[in-house]
Amino acid sequence: MNEAFLTELSAWLTQAGLAGTAEIDIVSGFCERCVAAGIPFGRAHVAIDTLHPVHEGRLFRWGYGANESPVHEYGRTSLQGFDASGAVALDAQAADVWRRSPFYNMLQSGASLVRRRLNAGRLACSGNDRLCRDHDPLCS
């Protein structure tokens, strides 16, 4: 592996992401390029977790048989095995983190972009962003 390969791979990843290439195609393209460069990949997993309380994340697999799905979507982690107070506390905590996230703010407001200024280690909300001030503890 050399510097030129890493530069080329990085550029390809950036372009693929900016072009909206499907995640599984990015994972496959990355793995195939690495194998072509002599890196001994046999299988790969890439997991993407989210802050959303229902749609937990997606798992992308490369190098498995044709009869196995390369994409696995998973929901919230089961809380079985916790006592009632622990499960409720974790559920409430996860919901609170989600509601304080900028992604929840965007989903609720319909915004496609959120801009915030970094100000002395804290985020400064712009304008009359009441939703931000009410839900994001980092907002000043």
Under 8 Å between Cβ of 37 and 5: yes
In a domain, 79, yes or no: no
Q: What domain range includes position 115?
A: 100-135
In a domain, 69, yes or no: yes
Query: Which residues, given as ranges, of the chain have pLDDT below 50?
Result: 79-87, 126-128, 130-131, 140
In a domain, 84, yes or no: no
Residues 11 and 65 placed together within one structural domain of the fold: yes
The pLDDT, as a whole number, for residue 8 is: 95
Which amino acid is it at 75?
G
The pLDDT, as a whole number, for residue 22 is: 93
Residues 61 and 122 placed together within one structural domain of the fold: no
Structural domains in the chain (count): 2
The pLDDT, as a whole number, for residue 29 is: 96
The pLDDT, as a whole number, for residue 88 is: 52
pLDDT digits (tens, 9 = 90+) for 76-109: 655 444 444 444 555 676 677 777 777 788 888 9
Residues 61 and 110 placed together within one structural domain of the fold: no
In a domain, 35, yes or no: yes
In a domain, 116, yes or no: yes
In a domain, 63, yes or no: yes
In a domain, 89, yes or no: no
Instruction: Name the DSSP letter for residue 31.
Output: H
Residues 66 and 11 placed together within one structural domain of the fold: yes
Nearest alpha carbon to residue 5 among 28, 50, 27, 38: 38
Predicted TM-score (pTM) of the model is: 0.54
